[in-house]
Amino acid sequence: MNKKILITGGAGFIGSHVVRRFVNNYPSYHIYNLDSLTYAGNLANLRDIENASNYTFIKGDITDSDLVQSLFTEHNFDGVIHLAAESHVDRSIANPMSFVTTNIIGTVVLLNAAKATWNGDFDNKLFYHISTDEVYGSLGEEGFFTEETKYDPHSPYSASKASSDHLVRAYHDTYQLPIVISNCSNNYGSFQFPEKLIPLAINNIINNKPIPVYGKGDNIRDWLFVEDHASAIDAIYHNGLLGSTYNIGGHNEWKNIDLIHLLCRIMDKKLGKEAGTTSKLITFVKDRAGHDLRYAIDATKLKNELGWMPSLQFEEGLEKTVDWYLANEEWIGQVTSGEYQNFYEKQYHQR
């Protein structure tokens, strides 16, 4: 079936994997990638598919309601997969306003354009909102986030994502807009901007710089390979139940410090260093404000309803990720020039 799908934030980390998957796997779809190319967006993430005949890139901001409405009017999209967001918790602590603007207002701009264009004719239409497990807040040592867990966000980032989730649901309940939402745990893999823990640590190790671990490194995250997130998004886009929410996660919890030790062992091996060399770079720094202790996803609903399962074990995925960063130092060099230096200076030299 021919479909026109608008993917927002497709030049970012997860978005680029989703765009690549849809462009390659669905030649009869046309994929429109709307991205304003912030520091986190990079067209180099999509070099391999940029000339595909079923792909169009549009540089633009999701908060620009005239632009977004004109795109809907021109193309009358069948579906939206909305990933564009400010996504880094530490940046949200330093500058909450851009998170409110993009994550909340940008989402409403897209919802309004979909509502106005579809105008009650919702056959085969879908607005798919990509969200995060951080909306659920923090777990103690036991338990998992389910789709019924009460929202309890703590950072400006997670509060802005929670707000956007509520708005998407409100457009379903109020205007019957056909929506689906998924809330995923921490992703890792190729093309992740080196402000997030794993690529930041890999980049610092390559450059023989300290690996900053917040607090005592006791916080726990549930890590999922990014291509597995993209496969879950594919399954939910095509078969998810309208109006519902799906949690996505890998049942793969790691304490930050244990993850960093594993990464150090892999890097020793890959860089031909004596075992124990890289872990000497580990440096404990001031904790993140409001730092959530533990995230862990119960993805039973997704498995039972749509048969989705992660494909990779963590050690294998982490090794693949390290190999990618080692083979793509030019990409890292490009994304860490300019703005990144200012960010790094402010973020880490004050700790």
Catalytic residue ranges:
133-134, 157
Q: How far is the CB of 299 from ligand DAU (least distance, A)?
A: 13
Distance CA 251, CA 210 (A): 29
The nearer residue to ligand DAU, 30 or 82, going by C-beta atoms, is 82
What's the rounded Cα separation, in Å, for the pair 245 and 146?
10
Torsion-angle region of 29 (φ positive above 0: left; ψ -120 to 50: alpha; else: beta) = beta
Q: Which of 33, 149, 163, 186 binds ligand NAD (CB under 6 A)?
A: 186
Instruction: For residue 196, give every residue at least 6 positions away whose Cβ sits within 8 Å of its Cβ, in sequence order, or none.
Output: 88, 188
What tokens were used for 336?
């860490």
Kind and range of the H or E run holding 126: strand 126-132
- Choose, by CB under 6 A, the member of 5, 23, 35, 107 that binds ligand NAD: 35
Among 5, 6, 7, 11, binds ligand NAD (CB under 6 A): 11
The helix (run of H) or strand (run of E) holding residue 220 is strand 220-225
Phi, psi of 91, deg, nearest 5: -65, -30
Of these, 49, 108, 184, 318, which contacts ligand NAD (CB under 6 A)? 184
Residues 38-97 contacting ligand NAD, CB under 6 A = 38, 40-41, 61-63, 83-87
Closest by alpha carbon to 219, among 306, 128, 146, 154?
A: 154
Residues binding ligand DAU (CB under 6 A): 87-89, 132-134, 185-186, 196-197, 200, 212-214, 219, 221, 256, 288, 295
User: Which residues touch 47 (CB under 8 Å, ≥6 apart)?
Assistant: none
Taking the complex as a whole, the smallest distance from the CB of residue 272 to ligand NAD amounts, in Å, to 30
* C-beta separation of 159 from 297 below 8 A: no
Q: Which of 33, 36, 256, 278 binds ligand NAD (CB under 6 A)?
A: 36
Does position 155 interact with ligand NAD (CB under 6 A)? The reply is no
Find the residue with minimal CB distance to ligand NAD. Answer: 12
Residues 6+ apart with CB under 8 A from 99: 86, 91, 92, 156, 157, 160
Residues 195-254 touching ligand NAD, rule: CB under 6 A, are none
- At its nearest, how many Å lie between ligand DAU and the CB of residue 264? 14
The HSE-up count of residue 89 (CA atoms within 13 Å, CB side) is 19
Which partner, ligand DAU, ligand NAD, none, binds residue 12 by CB below 5 to 8 Å per kind? ligand NAD
> Which among ligand DAU, ligand NAD, none contacts residue 11 (Cβ within 5 to 8 A by kind)?
ligand NAD
Interaction partner, residue 9 (ligand DAU, ligand NAD, none; CB < 5-8 Å by kind): ligand NAD
Q: Which does 288 bind (CB under 5 to 8 A by kind): ligand NAD, ligand DAU, none?
A: ligand DAU
49 token code pair: 């598919």
Distance, in Å, from the CA atom of 327 to the CA atom of 329, rounded to the nearest integer, reads 6
Residues linked to residue 105 through DSSP beta bridges, in sequence order? none
Find the residue with minimal CB distance to ligand DAU.
132
Compute the least distance from the CB of residue 50 to ligand NAD, in Å: 14
54 in Cβ contact with 29 (< 8 Å): yes
20 binds, among ligand DAU, ligand NAD, none (CB under 5 to 8 A by kind): none
Which residues contact ligand NAD (rule: CB under 6 A)? 8-9, 11-15, 35-38, 40-41, 61-63, 83-87, 102, 106, 130, 132, 161, 184, 186-187, 193
